[in-house]
Amino acid sequence: MSSENAVETLQRSLRDLMRQNNRAGRVVVAVDALDPEAAERFAGGFQRAIAEEGTAVFPVPVADAAPEVRERLVAPFRAGEPLGFGDVAPADAVLVVSGRFLHAPEVRGLWNFSIWLESNPPIGAPRPELPDAEKQYLRTVRPKAAASVIVENSDPAHPVQVFGDFC
């Protein structure tokens, strides 16, 4: 029997999906969620799945799609220059950026692959009222439609990939 758990299985599956279109080179991935801590935790697991294949991976949490993410992280990463924290990415590496609002129009085009983490309250529980900025983001940006992959993460020990097609 395998000691692999549901999270590891999903993380490896997402890594393999990312690799279908991004076999080599410097790849930039976004893990977006309304809860930045959940995004960072999920990104950490995704980072470990990528590292298993022997690829250098650089996880970076950002605050609310920080405007400097392009200049401070993505541009230097892609150019092989030192990142904001001093490391230089090798020719084949993955930068995993986690946080909120990472599908906003200003940064959406930076990602080679993106994950939207969705978290719903238990059945029968009331849905909490979202702050206006989050309601606006969901309504206007539609991160579920913009993401490469949607993950239902209400139970972080058992996340599930959601397929948002209408077939």
pLDDT given for residue 1 in this prediction? 39
**Which of helix, strand or coil describes residue 28?**
strand
Q: 78 and 88 in contact (C-beta within 8 Å)? A: no
pLDDT band at 165 (very low <50, low <70, confident <90, very high): low
Write the pLDDT tens digit of every residue in 108-162.
Answer: 999 999 999 998 766 666 777 888 999 999 999 999 999 999 999 999 999 999 9
> Which letter, b or e, does each residue of 1-11 get, where b requires 16 or more Cβ atoms within 10 Å of its Cβ?
eeeeeebeebb
- Mean pLDDT for the chain overall: 90
Contact call for residues 157 and 6 (beta carbons, < 8 A):
yes
Supply 68's token pair: 């400097």
Q: How confident is the model at residue 166 (pLDDT cuts 50, 70, 90)?
A: low
Instruction: Tell me which amino acid residue 49 is.
Output: A
Cα–Cα distance between 51 and 59 in angstroms, integer?
11
Contact 51, 12 (CB under 8 A): no
Question: What is residue 83's predicted lDDT score, i.e. its pLDDT?
Answer: 80
At 101 the pLDDT is 95
